[in-house]
A and B are shown apart, each in its own frame.
Chain A
Amino acid sequence: MDNFHPEVVAFCCRHCAYAAADLAGGKRQPYPSAIKIVELPCTGRIDVVNILHAFEDGADGVLIAGCLDGSCHYIKGNLYARQRLDYVRGLLCEIGLEPGRARMINISAAMGVQFAELASEHVETVRALGPSPLRRKINQGEAT
């Protein structure tokens, strides 16, 4: 497990988390290289199938990072994202993956430090869960 380098796809809203990640970078506030950021116009853009495809393509974890409650640029996008994430967690259980691999956080554009902290926290959760069984399969497939 020592040489396990988790891959976490972070779907980030451009009005908050994406800017916060930028701010963290600008402040030289480190966050794990495991975080692979996908910029979204709003977390409400995320669909159930996008999250599943991230796991199918081998992600060990998924992070959805949206605006603070009540601050969504499009009013309710972050609330829809949370509901969809809850639905996806049910699907992950059915599939045989730990629901804890997917998490949502809510931050503002000014919260660079918190973004780094919460992202690190999720990477550690995923690290504790170990590599996704699907990633192992994809790697085996590549090796053969």
Chain B
Amino acid sequence: MIVAEKKPLEAIARMLEGSGRVLAVGCGTCVTVCFSGGSKEVATLAASLRMKRSIEDRPLAVVEAMVQRQCEWEYLEPLAEQMKNVDAVLSLGCGVGVQTLAERFPTMRILPALNTLFMGLPSAQGVWEERCQGCGSCVLDKTGGICPVSRCAKQLFNGPCGGSQNGRCEVDEATPCAWHMIWERAEALGMSEDLMSIEPPKDWGTSRDGGMRRMVRNDLRLPEDQDKEGNE
């Protein structure tokens, strides 16, 4: 899931300085299950903002709304009606949700209520940890299902580094050393010999530098879209 957390109320309130009526929109997918942007969090943030502004003698009306998924056009349609009487929209979606709203409603101010943190999982109740950085060429087959890109502070591919101590990462003692885990898992799988060969440098061309990435499946595209592009 995509993991995000609420910005400080002060920061959100600052974005809404000039507003008198806003629509707060939650998302029913990733940010609901990480308890940052579901219907309860929308209600909590809406009540907090209304109270803060009321105490400051500048009342703010906050209309509460939810969509199942903020990152797909069709789910956003019902919001058009609810946006008619507001001067800004506060998105409790991840950064993708915020941008989908901004693209769909180009004349409306769309503001982020959350900081989007990472792709990860709940490692225990109330704790979320990063597991993938979307590097574009997955190596989990070679590392026993443990990602050295997101879980090794130095993103090593022939680890561990010399700082690995008692299974802990030298960069942060609270973090298990990814390469210690990779080794232990390889041993458990009877595959530690495989780790003896040197892994050549990774091709980072598929990763995050170099601007927005795109995935295309021509078999799924609308023929008319392809025709349009062909004529351009």
Contact = CB atoms under 8 A, between A and B. Distances in A.
Interface of A: 47-49, 52-53, 55-56, 91, 94-97, 133-134, 137
Contacts of B200: none
Contact of A134 (B8, B10, B55): B55
B28 to A, nearest CB: 17
Given A91-B9, A97-B55, A133-B55, 19 more contacts: A48-B40, A48-B44, A52-B44, A52-B47, A52-B51, A56-B51, A91-B44, A91-B48, A94-B8, A94-B10, A94-B52, A95-B9, A95-B52, A95-B55, A96-B52, A96-B55, A96-B56, A134-B51, A137-B54
Contact of B51 (A47, A48, A49, A97): A97
Interface string B42-67: 01100110111011100000000000
Nearest to B8: A94
B88 to A, nearest CB: 20
A55 B47 CA distance: 9
Contacts, number: 42
Nearest to B50: A56
A137 B47 CA distance: 15
Given A48-B40, A91-B9, A94-B8, A53 B54 contact: no
Closest 8 CB pairs of A and B: A94-B9, A52-B47, A96-B55, A49-B43, A133-B55, A95-B52, A95-B51, A49-B44
B106 to A, nearest CB: 32
Given A96-B56, A137-B54, A47 B40 contact: yes
A129 to B, nearest CB: 14
B40 A49 contact: yes
A92 B6 CA distance: 15
Contact of A49 (B8, B47, B50): B47
Contacts of A134: 51, 54-55
B50 to A, nearest CB: 6
